[in-house]
Amino acid sequence: MLDWRLVLTSPPKKHRRRIHDISTWTEALVVFSLLLTSSFPHRWKDLMLYKLLILRIHHQFSGRVWLTYDKAFCEHAAATRLVDWSAMNAQLFNFHAAGASLCSYNSGLSTYSSEPSGSSSSSIPCMSWNKGRCSAP
């Protein structure tokens, strides 16, 4: 009440946490998945496959390709009412990954734990060869 008149105000908006790193994103997706699968249990698999996809993009590319792809994908999914998130949207991926540099495979996060021994039958890609400086015999 103000001067005996009713004044309506909106409640203060809660500060939304911004997602800047893969850890915060993963936590948010897990909470979202728990809420969604409590009503739609069949969605568990496609949400976990989506999480794996984003984690692979994060490990493959430097920068925030994973985050820009995720935002674009979620907007697309909402606009088209997409209910299966298990498949990559190639058009969105190509747009957001274009020009991005690949991550170095020297970190402990890589699925390639060591350089190949130089054998022609090796199934491990030689990352240093791709960088122009192969150290294997």
Domain ranges of the chain: 22-97, 104-137
Task: Report the share of the chain in percent with pLDDT over 70.
Answer: 69
- Nearest CA among 89, 55, 59 for reference residue 75: 89
- Nearest CA among 96, 20, 16 for reference residue 53: 96
What three-state secondary structure class fits 104?
coil
**Residue 118 Ramachandran class (φ > 0 left, ψ -120 to 50 alpha, else beta):** left
Q: Which pLDDT tens digit goes with each residue over 27-71?
A: 999 999 999 999 999 999 999 999 999 999 999 988 899 999 999
pLDDT over 60 at 105, yes or no: no
Token pair in block for residue 84: 């299966």
